[in-house]
Amino acid sequence: MQIHVVNAANRHLYVAELEDFFRARHAIYVEEKQWRDDDGSGMEIDQFDTDEATYMIGIVDDQVMTGTRLLPTTEPHMLSEVFPHSCNFTGVPRQPDVAEWTRGFIVPSFREKGHGPIKGQFCGTVMEYCLNEGISRIGGIQDLYWLPLWKRFGWTVRQIGNPILIDDRWCVAAYFDVTPEARDRALARGNLDHSILVHRGPYEPFMQQYRTSRTGGARAA
């Protein structure tokens, strides 16, 4: 598996892969989990799939295997716009070096039981990307059942609100510290000792104060 970084700068190189990515999200979040209504498009795209989003797409043998989305918390994101009430300990994070991490998935045909290599490889590579970009924390609203996985990775989990009930699921707003140790522990769970992170085409930093606009000028934070 290779995990490709896709954002507004290089998404023109990933047209087919992004279509497969959004179709995989539809199969999981619309058909399997029924979190959203079916709009008939066959793809699951929401209001946070903007030019500010960074996608990490795991590809093996030209097939999308895993995927997720990262958003700057300085931009509108799921916690700020949909679940701000879940952040009753600290308020909604709004720092340029804090990223919201949502819509993570493994395509059903590739899933392993338990917390096996794919999860470790993917989550460790997400941490690797965040370290490279200077991101200090990642997280967001998530099902409570994910917390044991983060603890098995040895990650520092910072809960920023009380659990809330969302569509009969207990969820919590929580963030994780981005550290070399967090990366290494997850990769070790995935039996991975080398990088599988891929950047192809034009590069755009995650943090806005380091970006340039699409027209070449300075872009404000």
pLDDT digits (tens, 9 = 90+) for 20-77: 999 999 999 999 989 899 999 999 999 999 999 999 999 999 999 999 999 999 999 9
* Domains, in order of start, for the chain: 2-202 (3.40.630.30)
Q: What rounded mean pLDDT belongs to the chain?
A: 92
Q: pLDDT of 204-220, one tens digit each? A: 999 976 665 443 433 33
Give the pLDDT confidence of 86-108 residue by residue, as tens digits. Answer: 999 999 999 999 999 999 999 99
Over range 180-192, report the average pLDDT.
96
Q: Are 87 and 161 in contact (CB under 8 A)?
A: yes
Is residue 197 scored above 60 in pLDDT?
yes
- Report the distance separating Cα 171 and Cα 142, nearest Å: 5
Percent of the chain having pLDDT more than 70?
92
Task: Judge if pTM exceeds 0.75.
Answer: yes
Phi, psi of 220 (to 5 degrees): -70, 150
* Best CA proximity match to 182, nearest among 126, 132, 112, 114: 126
Closest among 101, 21, 102, 128 to 65, alpha carbons compared? 21
* Euclidean distance between CA atoms 119 and 155, whole angstroms: 14
Q: Rounded mean pLDDT of 4-32?
A: 97
End-to-end CA distance of the chain: 34
Q: Within 13 Å of residue 121, how many CA atoms lie on the same side as its CB? A: 25
C-alpha Rg value of the chain to the nearest Å:
17
